[in-house]
Amino acid sequence: MKVVLLAPAYPPEMPHFTRGLAELGVQVYGVGDSARGALPEGVKRALTDYLQVPRIMDEADVQARVHQWLRGREVDRVETLWEPLVILAARLRERLGVPGMSLDTVLGFRDKQLMKERVAAAGLRVPHSRRVRTPAEIRAAAEEIGYPLILKPIAGAGSADTYRVDGPAELDRLLPRIAHVREASCEEFIDGDEFTYDTVCVDGRPVFENVAQYLPRPLIARTNEWISPVICTVRDLSQPVIRPGIELGRGVLKALGMGSGFTHMEWYRTSSGEVVFGEIGCRPGGARLVDQMNFTCDIDLFREWGRAVTVGRFEASTERLYNVAIIFKRALGRGRITRREGLEEFKRRYQRWVCAEELLPVGAQRRDWLQTLVSDGWIMVRHPRWSDALELAELAATQITLYAG
């Protein structure tokens, strides 16, 4: 089996997927804009060959270079797990004549307005929304949909350039900040708890399912610097508050024609119990969510994804053993990290439940918390009981502090 893998070393989780393919005996042909010498050693070992391109986002140029590079060699799959490259992967599949999700199918996972239209056509609840390109279109859509509303890029990822707008005056102040966004989705604000629905699929059939809850929901976390955001996977997926979200997710996969690979969906549960679709990508969630799922079941989804997309099987256990919470920390102050308080004591007291930790060391430059959910690092804990997992997360959020200056 020969697989072309776009961006085998970026974002940070990608080297694990590259390793997972190689461990299955797959010949991995990597394509990226990093120099070969700059690739992590594990990625170099996993790759059969590597093509460095000048600009990985230049779709036409990358297609031409890959086609020339592969001349005389046949490949079986073209894959990527990075959101901005899923369209390029689909175009390469069509050009090279290899199986996998088509361009039209992938567009349904990338274009947020088209996505909602296809999901709504299947009879599933989605936020009311409009595609907008100009300030005039945004204002007209806002009047039609009503406030509060959400503005976000049609082809965005995560919560970048995503805003809640509570009225016309706030909209006027926001418009210059999103002037660089070519197309946006103006949509109804859904007030409720926010969850994920994550899968590994084989020919559209979920062979692994996961639900995680955002605490608080991302729009709140990204507008309040003092918050230590938490994401917690749910061990018991049979709960009445969770099952409707899973059924919604399965319906979405069918409506969008999912093939084989990872998906990451977000959905809402309102105070009345209604479940509403948010959005979905045909790639894994970022910010260490795959690690959380691995610790939930004590498995290796990096490798199992590779097995699913190459031979159509999933061989790991799906028994859920733990609720796993990741706590993202934001340092107090600006500049470089000067000290860390509470970490060693927390790890000493709760070492049985600590999965992993990656906080910035003293001396490191503090990151821009508005640009990355990971912020200044994270700590991950797990527990079989939901209440205990949340208590551990709360303790980590309040008792561990990073200072910068």
Give me the DSSP letters along 229-271: -EEEE-S-TTSTTTHHHHHHHHHHHHHHT--SEEEEEEEEEET
Q: Looking at residue 213, which CATH number applies to its domain?
A: 3.30.470.20
pLDDT in tens, 116-156: 999 999 999 999 999 999 999 999 999 999 999 999 888 76
Q: What CATH number corresponds to the domain at position 51?
A: 3.40.50.20
Examine the domain organization and report whether 362 and 284 are in the same domain: no
Q: Could you tell me if 196 and 314 lie in one domain?
A: yes
- pLDDT (0 to 100) of residue 156: 66
Q: Are residues 151 and 55 in the same domain?
A: no
233 domain residue, yes or no = yes
Q: What is the pLDDT of residue 8?
A: 98
- Radius of gyration for the alpha carbons in the chain, expressed in angstroms and rounded: 21
The pLDDT value given to residue 299: 98
Question: How much is the average pLDDT of 250-274?
Answer: 97
Please indicate, yes or no, if residue 118 is contained in any of the structural domains: no
- Whether residues 203 and 309 share a domain: the answer is yes
pLDDT in tens, 323-379: 999 999 999 999 999 999 999 999 999 999 999 999 999 999 999 988 888 999 999
Q: Are 369 and 330 in contact (CB under 8 A)?
A: yes
In angstroms, the CA 246 to CA 24 distance is: 30
Average pLDDT of the segment spanning 235-241: 96
CATH number at residue 178: 3.30.1490.20
CA dihedral 343, 346, 349, 353 (to 10 degrees): -110
With a cut of 70, say whether residue 186 has pLDDT above it: yes
Do 165 and 233 reside in the same domain of the chain? no
The last residue of one of the domains, among 321, 339, 374, is 321
Asked, for residue 123, whether it belongs to a domain, the answer is no
CA distance 285 to 348: 30
Q: Please indicate, yes or no, whether residues 299 and 218 belong to a single structural domain of this protein.
A: yes
> Which of 272, 289, 321 is the endpoint of a domain?
321
Establish if 105 belongs to a structural domain.
no
Domains: count for the chain? 4
Both 213 and 161 in one domain: the answer is no
Residue where a domain terminates, one of 188, 215, 235: 188
Whether residues 385 and 366 share a domain: the answer is yes
Q: Do 56 and 164 have their domain in common? A: no
Residue 63 belongs to a domain: yes
Q: Is residue 119 part of a domain?
A: no
Task: Provide the residue range defining the domain that includes 212.
Answer: 191-321
Q: Is there a single domain that holds both residue 216 and residue 266?
A: yes
Q: What is the pTM of this model?
A: 0.92
Are 251 and 297 found together in one domain? yes
Q: Are residues 162 and 237 both part of a single domain?
A: no
Q: Of 294, 284, 289, 295, which Cα lies nearest the Cα of 373?
A: 289
| Within a domain: 160 | yes
135 lies in some domain: yes
